């Protein structure tokens, strides 16, 4: 495994030869969720490239950026074991020699949920991912469904910029208690960590409830269930069309659904999502 701090050197090492190249962008503090992406990439591609970069332009909250966990040494060990060939772990200056002033327009896709609650977040994600794609020029890029809306935004970006890459969505990896693995879980207090599995439990209970209830009733049911734990506070829970990400007003036959939540657990903001809501999407 080769580790690069400079994009130009990584590009030169990758060369122009046509080799099926897979790419897994991450912000480090790696866990089994990331490992599942790298292992899938390893199975499907000749060359596996992983980036480890905490991208400042996607953080709308400076405290969140400051506290974001970083552990490159442990990350490199995990990546070597998972079969990565190339790692790009750059400085901010290497990725952004000058500030990126591009403003993307993803229409409705980034106006709801994370887009609405983290202003500028997806614009920053698009800035960094487009730069990483330009350096790595992958054939396939792997993203986790934990960041469900992010996948829709990346797909829109790839279409807009006409980047010839296949976006591969990967299922959410959870702990034994159901909590979606996330780098930010390491920042939870013991009490909040014990409460956090209630999020997935409520999302799943909502799926059963939704079989005989309206969209609005289901959203209320899930929100109240999570909020009934005094250590958790729902920022939003929304059931959307899984393809367009647009909020659903009523169940529609043939439309796949996704229920997406952001929950404050003390100082830590967690997100999760589950599919299969309503009488039709079983
Ligand atoms: N539990 C998980 N299962 C599957 N994929 C995941 C999981 N957690 C993260 N990923 C994916 O890994 C990639 C890198 O994510 P990132 O480095 O932000 O990690 P993270 O654990 O989501 O961190 P955080 O949510 O705390 O920012 C993203 O595509 C993300 O969706
Ligand atoms: C895709 C990504 C690595 C861009 O910084 C980040 O948003 C993430 O980890 O999901
Ligand atoms: N995985 C999402 C990155 C972020 O929260 O900024």
pLDDT in tens, 152-208: 999 999 999 999 999 999 999 999 999 999 999 999 999 999 999 999 999 999 999
Is 33 close to ligand 2, i.e. is its CB under 6 Å away?
A: no
**Closest by alpha carbon to 147, among 239, 235, 270?**
270
For residue 190, the surrounding DSSP H or E stretch is: helix 190-195
Stretch(es) of the chain classified as CATH 3.30.1300.10: 183-275
Angle at 261 (CA atoms; ends 256, 267), nearest 5 degrees:
160
Residue 83 has pLDDT above 90, yes or no: yes
Its CATH class, for the domain covering 183-275, is: alpha beta
Q: Which ligand is nearest to the CA of 25?
A: 2
The whole-number pLDDT of residue 272 equals 98
Q: Which residues contact 39 (CB under 8 A, 6 or more apart)?
A: 82, 83
- What is the pLDDT, as a whole number, of residue 172? 98
Ligand nearest to the CA of 53: 2
Is the pTM higher than 0.95? The answer reads yes
Domain with CATH 3.40.50.620 in the chain: 2-170
Binding-site members for ATP are 27-34, 144-147, 173, 181-184
Atom 15 of ligand 1, residue of closest alpha carbon: 26
Averaged over 132-148, what is the pLDDT? 98
- Three-state SS at 176: coil
18's tokens: 């046509």
- Which pLDDT band holds residue 17 (cuts at 50, 70, 90)? confident
- Residue 78 has a pLDDT of 98
Tallying the residues shown for the chain, one arrives at 282
CA–CA dist 57, 51 (Å, integer): 16
Question: From ligand 1's centre to the CA of 101, what distance in Å?
Answer: 26
Mean pLDDT of 84-98: 98
What pLDDT shows up at residue 173? 98
To the nearest whole number, what is the mean pLDDT of the chain?
97
272 Cβ inside 6 Å of ligand 3: no
Instruction: Look at domain 2-170 and name its CATH class.
Output: alpha beta
Answer whether 24 contacts ligand 2 (Cβ < 6 A).
Answer: no
Percent of the chain with pLDDT over 70: 100
């Amino acid at each position: 495994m080769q580790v690069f701090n400079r994009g130009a050197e990584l590009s030169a090492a990758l060369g122009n030869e046509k080799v099926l190249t897979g790419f897994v962008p991450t912000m480090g503090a790696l866990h089994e969720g990331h490992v599942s992406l790298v292992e899938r990439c390893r199975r499907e591609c000749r060359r596996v490239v992983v980036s480890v970069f905490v991208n400042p332009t996607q953080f709308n909250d400076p405290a969140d950026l400051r506290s974001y966990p970083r552990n490159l040494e442990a990350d490199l060990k995990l990546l070597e074991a998972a079969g990565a060939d190339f790692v790009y772990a750059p400085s901010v200056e290497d990725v952004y020699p000058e500030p990126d002033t591009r403003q993307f327009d993803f229409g409705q896709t980034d106006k709801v949920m994370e887009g609405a609650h983290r202003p500028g977040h997806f614009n920053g994600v698009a800035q960094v991912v487009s730069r990483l794609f330009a350096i790595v020029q992958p054939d396939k890029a792997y993203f986790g469904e934990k960041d469900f809306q992010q996948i829709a935004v990346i797909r829109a970006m790839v279409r807009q910029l006409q980047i010839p890459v296949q976006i591969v969505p990967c299922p959410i990896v959870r702990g034994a208690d159901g909590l979606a693995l996330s780098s930010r879980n390491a920042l939870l207090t013991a009490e909040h960590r014990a409460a956090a599995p209630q999020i997935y439990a409520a999302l799943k209970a909502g799926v059963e409830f939704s079989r005989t209830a309206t969209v609005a009733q289901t959203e209320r049911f899930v929100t109240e269930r999570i909020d009934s734990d005094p250590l958790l506070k729902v920022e939003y829970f929304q059931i959307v069309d899984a393809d367009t990400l647009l909020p659903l007003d009523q169940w529609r036959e043939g439309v796949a659904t996704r229920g997406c939540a952001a929950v404050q657990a003390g100082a830590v903001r967690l997100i999760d999502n589950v599919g299969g809501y309503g009488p039709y999407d079983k």
